[in-house]
Each structure stands twice: as C-alpha cells, then as structure tokens.
C-alpha cells in the first residue's frame, strides 16, 4: 500500500490467517516495524487486540483529517 493504509481497510499484506506476508522484509512499513504489542494492546483475546487496533486507526484518522484541514487554510 504505497500511499499508506486507510483506517478501516484490511492491510493488503495480511495473509488469510492474519500473518504479515512481508514481516522482516525491508519493504515492511515503518509504522508496522515500530508497533510493539503490549498487555494493554493485546488484552485477553484476539477481539480485544483487534478492537484496540481499530481504535488506534480511528485516532490516527482523526489526527490526519485535522492536519489536512489545517494545511488547507
């Protein structure tokens, strides 16, 4: 996804079992390389972890929209 992954869109690099197809390769996006799972993020279930990631996406989407609005002034 050369221009980034929009919030709410499944990553094109995820395999059918949700593994990263480019893990450890140089073309893996920096945001993925820097993401460090922790107990707060992962919780006790897959559902919790996916919800946490969805929340992060929404927060970054809102921040990007705010920046884009500011730039258009």
Q: What is the pLDDT of residues 2-14, one digit of tens each?
A: 777 877 788 999 9
* 57 class by beta-carbon count within 10 Å (0-12 exposed, 13-18 middle, 19+ buried): middle
- Partners of 20 in the β-ladder: 14
Q: What is the largest CA-CA distance in the chain?
A: 44
Kindly report the CA angle at 24 between 58 and 12, in degrees rounded to 5?
A: 45
Indicate the pTM of the whole model.
0.65
Residue-range domain boundaries for the chain: 39-71
Interval 4-56: pLDDT, tens: 787 778 899 999 998 999 999 999 998 899 999 999 999 999 999 989 998 98
Both structure tokens of 6: 């929009």
């Amino acid at each position: 996804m050369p221009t980034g992954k929009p919030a709410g869109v499944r990553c094109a690099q995820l395999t059918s079992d949700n593994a990263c197809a480019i893990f450890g390769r140089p073309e893996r996006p920096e945001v993925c390389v820097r993401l460090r799972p922790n107990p707060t993020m992962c919780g006790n279930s897959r559902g919790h972890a996916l919800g946490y990631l969805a929340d992060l996406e929404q927060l970054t989407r809102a921040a990007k929209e705010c920046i884009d609005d500011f730039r258009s002034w």
